[in-house]
């Protein structure tokens, strides 16, 4: 019987600390400046979304706020119907350029062959 070994089921996560480390290594900012720059970027994005503005990042995508209406939900244990409150959610739409990069050249070539 063959055994399958799974090293980790966790998905790798890119953290703010790793972004700051990349700024430090690639651009040469000191570590404090790198951390401050990453924090300032996310503060700006958070503030803009808090004001109800869309955030567009060229070549990457855009973040947009959506209002979700109240709707009925169901408690999975009891089956009881409970209301889910109205709320604001952030939606991300990847740019066409970013989507193309994610698909890679092999899938892009295949798509051209089909046409």
Write the pLDDT tens digit of every residue in 37-77. 999 999 999 999 999 999 999 999 999 999 999 999 999 99
Domain residues for the domain of 36 are: 15-52
Gap between the Cα atoms of 41 and 48, Å rounded? 11
Write the pLDDT tens digit of every residue in 100-112. 888 876 555 555 5
94 and 113 share one domain: yes
CATH of the domain at 71: 4.10.520.10
Please tell me the total count of domains within the chain: 2
Write the pLDDT tens digit of every residue in 8-48. 556 788 899 999 999 999 988 899 999 999 999 999 999 99
Burial letters for 38-55: b for 16+ Cβ neighbours within 10 Å, e otherwise? beeeeeeeeeebeeeeeb
């Amino acid at each position: 019987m063959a055994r399958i070994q799974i090293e980790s089921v966790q998905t790798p996560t890119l953290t703010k600390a790793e972004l700051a480390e990349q700024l430090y290594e690639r651009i040469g900012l000191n570590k404090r400046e790198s951390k401050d720059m990453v924090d300032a970027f996310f503060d700006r994005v958070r503030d803009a979304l808090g004001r109800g503005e869309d955030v567009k990042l060229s070549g990457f995508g855009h973040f947009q706020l959506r209002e979700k209406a109240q709707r009925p939900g169901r408690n999975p244990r009891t089956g009881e119907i409970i209301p889910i409150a109205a709320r604001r959610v952030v939606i991300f739409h990847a740019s066409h350029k970013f989507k193309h990069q994610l698909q890679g050249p092999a899938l892009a070539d295949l798509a051209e062959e089909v046409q």
